[in-house]
Structure 1
């Protein structure tokens, strides 16, 4: 075998990639999953504890709020005893954990329904706009970032680069609720093109999805551009250009696949942010999801409902992060060893 052939094999990506073992449940894979699941368990304990204490630190009497100011003190005390709110805080905490393990999150004070029923009815509406916003965001951000990288690579078009980074940076920091208010004013109030609130038809999804995704498109496209500039500076891209390959083939066949790992990471992180961002967006657009529910439950000091919704939000973000970590290791096994 020639010296050139040996050098190529020694420096090839395949030879440099550490092996995690044939079985996905053993060796380095087992250590990786153990670390991630351990962190997930700790995060869940913190999430449950914080949600339990946070709601109870809000001033006011939830039972009095639910029964009204005209209810007698005897009725209020009887209701507090029935709900277990007269018990010591530590005992309420243990009962709360017991309810979580048995799937019983209690009944809503204000809606007079099981918390699990309320969450089951309103969770789909939240997931719909979150995932639609994610798909729309990535579908726009990745091409915009790649086009910006292609036009400004190598220090070209300095004015375009400054304009793009300035505008995208400004849009990325605008809160979702401000974007939502602006969209309502333009498309619903001024031109009467789209409904201002509710979940009444396909056109009612447009404004909430735009409010959730516009800032993300600007921010994610900046990251994609930075990653694309790095990829376009690699030797194999220069070799492809030297062979006079078409720009379309270079970008789509060689550059884009190498952006998938970073795009997956960004997408997972953004999805967690989108889920959290639905709270204010749903409130602005009167969207019947968990965002509207959590705002109303905190306002009314509806302990069971507020705690249940907060935990669901937190679990969704934690599970998305875990899934992204696992997918990244499947795409690039070397990432499992970076923490060792």
Structure 2
């Protein structure tokens, strides 16, 4: 019964959010400055050519009729046609999604490999080093979490690509070309994860069952690996959706710095060129991805820690 109510609430929330994203992306074309029909026909086209383009785009119909057609296209996998390339938006996205997913995957791995051990180290060192280490850890991770990703990307590109020439300065294809941008988008989330893991670990270390385990003089690896870490993992799971959203948002900016041909670059170019179908399709895809990841994280949290089902209903 609890699971049924929990899933029903999550699915209802998911449907509301996806509907809101769909409506907002549809209205994007109508709220954006400029006339899409004139962009398609050409800025030098006469009024008759613009009117023909408007009819071809379906912009001469009422707004509700256009929305129904738009939603119907989504169910068929049709996101429209790019104004700039005249190719289907789905084909444009398929060409650009690879570098972005590669960047997000490497960034997530870096976050987990750096943020979790750093947080555990911070908790252990705080207990042994006292107030001094706590201030140093909080200040360091706080500064890392506050630095804008484009500044990190610019610094890394200048130092490791331009000055020392260790990594490529731009492009995609080789794994080495993804290292610097992945580090750039992973710095802030890794610092945030480290701070959360440290706080949660310190809380778990004060629980009675961990004190009992410590009184049995268990080895440190067994104490943290069997008793502390599994109970601190819920914090990391709860941050999963936020991390994914941060990675996607960072990729949009960082891809510009490193000239990677991904979704972020395509999105910015679409905005600059007024290619609204491409902007619509990418925003819709990224929005749906973030919402679905958050929903999966909520369900996974319910499996790992059933108490979250009571709090989230």
Distance 1:339 1:174 in 2: 32
Q: Check 1:228–1:283 CA distance in 2 against 1; reply closer, same or farther (3 A cut).
A: same
Query: What secondary structure is seen at the aligned counterpart in 1 of 2:85?
Result: coil
Map 1:1-340 to 2 at 5 A: 27-153=1-127, 156-340=129-313
Distance 2:248 2:159 in 1: 25
Distance 2:134 2:165 in 1: 36
- How many residues are paired up? 313
Uncovered stretches (5+) of structure 2, i.e. residues with no partner = none
Deviations 1:125-171 (A, max 9, x none): 222211221121011111100011001127x4322211110121111
- Relative to the length of structure 2, the TM-score reads 0.94
Distance 2:269 2:63 in 1: 24
Deviations 1:291-338 (A, max 9, x none): 111111122222221111111000000110111111111112222122
Distance 2:197 2:29 in 1: 39
Contact 1:134 1:267 in 2 (8 A): no
Deviations 1:185-211 (A, max 9, x none): 111121111111110311101011001
* Structure 1 residue 67, shift from structure 2 partner: 4.6
Contact 1:66 1:300 in 2 (8 A): no
Q: CA RMSD in A?
A: 1.7
* Structure 1 residue 267, shift from structure 2 partner: 2.6
Deviations 1:26-56 (A, max 9, x none): x221111111111111111110111122343
Stretch of structure 1 that moved more, 133-142 or 297-306: 297-306
Distance 1:85 1:273 in 2: 35
Contact 1:55 1:298 in 2 (8 A): no
* Structure 1 residue 251, shift from structure 2 partner: 1.7
Deviations 1:246-297 (A, max 9, x none): 2222122221121222222223321122123211112222222211111111
* Structure 1 residue 238, shift from structure 2 partner: 2.0
Query: What secondary structure is seen at the aligned counterpart in 2 of 1:338?
Result: helix
Contact 2:116 2:197 in 1 (8 A): yes
